[in-house]
Amino acid sequence: MTDGLPAPAGAVLLLNGRDVSNWTKRDGSAAEWVVEDGILKVVPGKGDIMTAETCLDHYLHLEFRVPDMPDKTGQAKGNSGVFLAGRYEVQVLDSFGWARPGKGDCGAVYNQFAPLSNGCRKPTEWQTYDVAFRAARLDESGNVRERVRMTVFHNGVLIHNNIELPGATGAPIDNREGVPGPLLLQDHGDLVQYRNLWAVPLPAHGSTVYGPA
């Protein structure tokens, strides 16, 4: 499990633990979510928020908690979303106990890929996403020659194994590919919470020689 996993050397801290001063709304205006005791809380109706920092290839760690909404079902049950590079959504939802989660359930790459298995914990318990994100590769003319790829672990369970995405999911900041983008968190009207958000930028490729550089 990766609950409380500390950010390693070289990581970009996406949540400062005090406020949302390094976050904005989609239109660039000040974010209006709140941070209390190091926990980032959705304020329903205040809109999606995104980081000032942007990434291409990176490893992302975040922790989230969905409310217990026993009177709700489906997409009305603890809904939010994590958009990598502002374009590719990994769904946040209370899907605990569902035998075969689908393309809109927790852990899904929204409307593109269902998770391989259900990694959900009970609502109100902290959960983790760990994502290896590989941005699209462009040719000299700016056309996509290799699609975005992602590997996702949910509470330590592998739910996406190096999947190739056909493009942006619904509600992206824009449809460009192969360019840096922010981490965007979705306000879907539910009291979802986040903590311990950090990203490690990754080089496009490793060294081609033996031994240290």
Q: Which residue has the higher pLDDT, 213 or 26?
A: 26
In angstroms, the CA 177 to CA 185 distance is 19
User: Average pLDDT, stretch 112-118?
Assistant: 97
Write down the mean pLDDT value for the chain: 96
Q: Domain segments of the chain: what residues?
A: 14-200
Domain 14-200 superfamily per CATH: Exo-inulinase; domain 1 (2.60.120.560)
What percent of the chain has pLDDT above 90?
89
* Predicted pLDDT of residue 1: 65
Cβ-count burial of 173 within 10 angstroms (0-12 exposed, 13-18 middle, 19+ buried)?
Answer: middle
pLDDT tens for 189-204 read: 999 999 999 999 999 9
Decide if pLDDT at 154 tops 90. yes
- Residue 86 identity (one-letter amino acid): G
pTM of the shown model: 0.96
Q: Are 31 and 49 in contact (CB under 8 A)?
A: yes
User: Average pLDDT, stretch 35-46?
Assistant: 98
Query: Residue 48: which of 71, 24, 65 has the closest Cα?
Result: 24
For residue 36, list its beta bridge partners: 39
The Cβ of residue 178 has, within 10 Å, a number of other Cβ atoms equal to: 18
* Predicted pLDDT of residue 40: 98
18 CB-near residues (< 8 Å, 6+ apart): 35
Count of residues in the chain: 213
